[in-house]
Amino acid sequence: MDIKTSKILVTGGASGMGRHFVLSLARDGADVAFCDLDAEAVAAVESEAVARGLAGRVKGFVANVAKEDDVVALVRDAGAALGGLTGIVNNAGIIRDGLLVKIDKATGAVVKFPLSKWQQVLDVNLTGVFLCAREFAAYAIENNVPQSVIISISSISRHGNQGQGNYSAAKAAIVADTALWAGELARYGIRTGAIAPGFTRTPILEGMPPEALAKVSAPVPLKRIGEPEEMYLTVKFIIENDYFTGRVIDVDGGLRLS
């Protein structure tokens, strides 16, 4: 697929890696639709795209990927705004970290991880990916799109990261579904791919104290955290390589979580 003629929808596109994906895709010639929850942040990305004179069009929407009606409307409206869709990047995600159980140091009581925090992460990070993939695939089939691609952002945490039981479960499931959907959707010309970033420079990491950031990067064989552009280059590879489907690419500097 030629990125210069592609029309891509990015979820969670107003901040972090998603914002970089939106602006980089448009820089390289793609028309891009994106969504986020914050209307002001969505407008800011649209304004930046105009100010930078990017080659591709950028159109933002306010939508919650965990809500079925929002996703149905998002895919429909994004397709109408761009005059079609040929790909989606399932990037939207949240974290609600905590141990399964722990002992409160002050009281000695056993504290359980709240079901609400488990469910919030599964709703956005997994159900959101399912809804967006389902609606995009239906759109591609109904509109006779000859070639299209579904890219989902997993994580190094899919191997299991202590304190991230909910996040790790969702990110592992994304990889499983990416492989499964490749077989189901190939007959319609729809490819799939997943990317599993390691620790990457985002506003969350940039807000960490230098000593904490150094502790994060120390176990990485390359001795640094990843850059959003390095993750974007992987997105671009999957879009452009028509023989790639059903696999996950780890972009983690060689780090392995135990």
Catalytic center residues:
167
**One-letter amino acid identity for 32?**
V
Q: Which two tokens stand for residue 183?
A: 């077989």
**Residue linked to tokens 């697929």:** 1
Contacts of 146 (CB under 8 A, 6+ apart): 189
Contacts of 78 (CB under 8 A, 6+ apart): 9, 33, 35, 59, 61, 85
Cβ contact 70:63 at 8 Å: yes
Q: How far is CA 208 from CA 172, 211, 217, 251, in A?
A: 26, 8, 12, 21
**Residue linked to tokens 């070639």:** 147
Helix ranges restricted to H, 30-163: 39-51, 68-82, 115-122, 128-142
